Amino acid sequence: MRCVVANWKMNLTKDEAQAFCEDLLGRMAPESEAEVGIAPPFTLLHQVSDLVRPRGLQVFGQNGHAEAKGAFTGEISMPQLRDAGCSGVLLGHSERRQFFGETDVALAKKVKAAWQWDLLPLLCIGETLEQRDAGQTLDVLAQQLAILAETGPGPLWVAYEPVWAIGTGRRAEAAQVREAHAFIRTELNRHLAGTEYRVPILYGGSVTPESFPELLGIPEVAGGLVGGASLDPRKFAELVKQAG
Ligand code: PEP
């Protein structure tokens, strides 16, 4: 199974989202076997899910709180995401970790909350440039995946997103992706040994239609989490085609 997920971040308005979805769906072959997801801003969740779920696409929240409700101004809960039409939720995106202080402790709680509300967590992990230069990449990935010792097993997608490759136009090299994905698979096998769960590992970081075919040829790369290129329906449709 190959997966392509669009992370729109804090982009698009109602009319723009409408035009995007109509354009994308018009370009998508009905026989495509790729699992396709869109993670719009919260204000667009209802609208996007009404448009794309009838065609089999998934909708993801970009974040979700661990508590089901309460006095958490500015937050959104897992049941609210479900109510808005989501089937999954991005968790631990590096922009959340970097700009909003998201910790592994909080993420373990969020993963459990997602499962409780029947949402598929798409857990994002990856090293900063400083960590890579210091030779710490695999240690960082192991530490970020160690939350699975706390959460226990469950349905999960993982995205390997080197922080230095996100939104920079600087994609990780094939050898770096191969090493990271092989290591993540080993760690997942260790954490999920003896369970039914087989976790797809997506790559994220400056994916484009030009670079995606090579990435898809790397062992353990099950697809892509896409930011910039996912805002252009023509480019995103091309990525879906390459994955399907
Ligand atoms: C992302 O936001 O997860 C991402 C990978 O962004 P970009 O494709 O723009 O690097």
User: 181 catalytic, yes or no?
Assistant: no
Ligand 1 centre to CA of 103 (Å) is 20
User: 65 catalytic, yes or no?
Assistant: no
The predicted-structure confidence for 164-216, as pLDDT tens digits, reads as follows 999 999 999 999 999 999 999 999 999 999 999 999 999 999 999 999 999 99
Provide the domain count of the chain.
Answer: 1
Q: Which of 35, 65, 93, 95 is catalytic?
A: 93
Ligand 1, CB within 6 Å, residue ranges: 7, 161, 166-167, 204-207, 225-229
Q: What is the DSSP string of the chain?
A: --EEEEE-TT---HHHHHHHHHHHHHHS-TT---EEEEE--GGGHHHHHHHHGGGT-EEEES--BSSSSSS-TT--BHHHHHHTT-SEEEE--HHHHHHH---HHHHHHHHHHHHHTT-EEEEEE---HHHHHTT-HHHHHHHHHTHHHHH-S---EEEE--GGGTTSS-PPPHHHHHHHHHHHHHHHHHHTTTSS----EEEESS--TTTHHHHHTSTT--EEEESGGGGSHHHHHHHHHHH-
**Mean pLDDT score, 219-229:** 97
CATH code of 8's domain? 3.20.20.70
**Residue owning the nearest CA to atom 8 of ligand 1:** 227
**Residue owning the nearest CA to atom 2 of ligand 1:** 227
Per the structure, the complete domain to which residue 45 belongs is given by 3-243
Q: Residue 32 has what pLDDT?
A: 85
The predicted-structure confidence for 75-131, as pLDDT tens digits, reads as follows 999 999 999 999 999 999 999 999 999 999 999 999 999 999 999 999 999 999 999
The predicted-structure confidence for 132-163, as pLDDT tens digits, reads as follows 999 999 999 999 999 999 999 999 999 999 99
